[in-house]
Structures are given as structure tokens and as C-alpha cells.
Amino acid sequence: MDTGDKVWEVFVQKKGGQPFKHAGSCHGYDKKMAIQNARDLYTRRGEGRALWVVPADAIVSVPFDEEDAYFDPGDDKVYRHATFYKIPDGVNYL
């Protein structure tokens, strides 16, 4: 059995077929405790029918202090959006 407290990220699916959404985090010593704790913290009021827990350290995120380098260059390049095309008549779904 795993020992040591860990943080887990919790994802809840409202109904079958819908995406899992991040709901928050919880503590747990192992998978079993984590999923039970997540159930008690995040699905008490009918929030969902399915649950994922993922060890928080398994999630890779952009370092906070490199936020500018990662995301700012995308801010002023409107031409990267496909909004400069003329949509031909008769195309209903684009």
C-alpha cells in the first residue's frame, strides 16, 4: 500500500458522453482513498455520474514565471484566426 499523503486533481463528468471537467483537488494516500474522498467532496449534490482522480504531480503545466513567453506571442496575431476567408454562399456550418 502506498504511504504518504498526496494531492489529486478531481474531474467530474456530469452525464455519460460529456467531457470530464476539472472540479478541484483532494488529498489521499492512494487511488482508492483519493476516489472516495473526491466522491465525498465533489459529488454530494448530484454534480456527476463519473469521476476521475489524477495524481497532481502527473499533470504537467506551463511554469508560472514563463507565462509571458508561452502565451503573449499569440495575443497580437489575429491573422492566425481563420476569419479572413469569405464564406461561400450555401455553406451553413463553418
Contacts to another protein by CB under 8 A: 1, 5, 26-29, 32-33, 36-37, 40-41, 44
* Strand extents, DSSP E, the chain: 6-13, 21-28, 50-55
Q: Which is nearer to another protein, 4 or 63 (CB)?
A: 4
User: Cβ 2 to another protein, closest distance in Å?
Assistant: 11
What length is written for the chain? 94
User: Cβ 74 to another protein, closest distance in Å?
Assistant: 38
Is the distance from CB of 12 to CB of 50 less than 8 angstroms?
yes
User: Cβ 21 to another protein, closest distance in Å?
Assistant: 20
Q: Which is nearer to another protein, 44 or 81 (CB)?
A: 44
Rounded to whole angstroms, what are the CA distances from 14 to 7, 10, 34, 49? Answer: 23, 13, 19, 6
Q: Which is nearer to another protein, 7 or 69 (CB)?
A: 7
Grid coordinates belonging to 48:
456527476
